[in-house]
Amino acid sequence: MSLAIKPTRSFWVRYPWVSTALGLAPMAIGLIAFLVLPILLMVVSSFQTDQGWSLNNYFGTVRGEYLRAFATTLQISLVTAVLGGVLGTLTAIALAWGTSSPNNGLLTLASVAANWGGVPLAFAMIATVGNSGWVTELLRAIGFDLYKQGFTIYGNLGLILTYTYFQWPLMLLLMLPSVQRFRQQWCEAAESLGATNGQFWRWVAIPILMPSMIGGMALLFANSFGAQATAFALAGGALNLITIKITFLVKGQTDFNPGLANALAVEMTVVLAIAVIIYQITNQRARRWMR
């Protein structure tokens, strides 16, 4: 009579959730320490004033210079999102449909440009189209003065030009996968049914690509709305942006008021969250066509 030996299983096999928890623990700790807790502290501080708990900080954000800063930031973010979105989509279509395969060097350049910002980008724009930039001096040499025509790199128009520099390639990278998955059969089906080129774009191509475009523009909007380093390095306090106002309120360069700064930051977080939600909804819709 032989005795059956019962196989033993290791601890990790019997309790697989332990290994999963240990693997996720560093990320969870990082999220709690650097995202969840700061947001909670920001929200709590936004209701605190010298007189105690109140909504005065939020009342202060909807009037005067802070309301104008919020409107200016929204306007610049919307303009750069639409401008960068249209240019990036057209470039993605030209790369995906105009060539057999996109140039890797061009995509690498787009990746670098999409992530290039802050002080280096501001310096590059000043050296290019600043008061004494090489493009400005070149145009002056042929009799055209940009700054006499009302342009300045240190104003809203200059900031739009600067933001578009990285919004355009970012949209290219976001749209390229969707454009590459666009099926040739859809074009052939439209042609077989007698559709013209304009009708194909109006009723087939644009509706299919529109969710991806809207989602990409939502990310571009969030990218521009939350930017601070590039604008501050470009013109400092001359630009009336909400991120720069928060910087001054925290550093005390004009009026030290962390409660008001946190209230502005909470409102910015809400706007950014809405943009991310729009991206998630449109991205799910785009995947239905691109499977």
pLDDT at 3 over 90: no
> What is the pLDDT confidence band of residue 102, given thresholds at 50, 70 and 90?
low
In a domain, 82, yes or no: yes
Check whether residue 38 and residue 124 sit in a common domain. Answer: no
pLDDT above 60 for 7: no
Interval 9-43: pLDDT, tens: 666 667 777 778 888 888 999 999 988 999 999 99
Confidence grade of residue 100 (pLDDT, cut at 50, 70, 90)? low
Q: Flag whether 6 is in a domain.
A: no
* DSSP-derived secondary structure for the chain: -PPPPPPP--HHHH-HHHHHHHHHHHHHHHHIIIIIHHHHHHHHHHTEETTEE-SHHHHHHTSHHHHHHHHHHHHHHHHHHHHHHHHHHHHHHHHHHHSSS--HHHHHHHHHHHT--HHHHHHHHHHHHSTT-HHHHHHHHTT--TGGGT--TTSHHHHHHHHHHHHHHHHHHHHHHHHHT--HHHHHHHHHTT--HHHHIIIIIHHHHHHHHHHHHHHHHHHHHT--HHHHHHHGGGS--HHHHHHHHHHTSS---HHHHHHHHHHHHHHHHHHHHHHHHHHHHHHHHH-
Mean pLDDT, rounded, for 128-147 = 89
Do 168 and 28 sit in the same domain of this protein?
no
Residues 22 and 165 in one domain: no
Report the number of distinct structural domains present in the chain.
2
- For residue 281, being part of any structural domain is answered with yes
171-186 average pLDDT score: 85
- At 253 the pLDDT is 59
Q: What pLDDT was estimated at residue 104?
A: 73
Global pTM value: 0.86
Domain that holds residue 128: 56-290
101 pLDDT more than 70: no
List 52's β-bridge partners, or say none: 49
* 242-261 per-position pLDDT tens digit: 999 998 888 875 678 888 99
Best-predicted range by mean pLDDT (4-18, 75-89, 205-219)? 75-89
On the question of pLDDT at 4 being above 90, the answer is no
**82 and 209: one domain?**
yes
Which one, of 122, 125, 123, 84, lies nearest residue 228 by Cα?
Answer: 122
- Residue 201 in this model has a pLDDT that exceeds 90: no
Q: Is residue 3 part of a domain?
A: no
CATH of the domain at 135: 1.10.3720.10
Same domain, 130 and 153: yes
pLDDT at 216: 93
Does 81 have pLDDT greater than 90?
yes
pLDDT at 1: 46
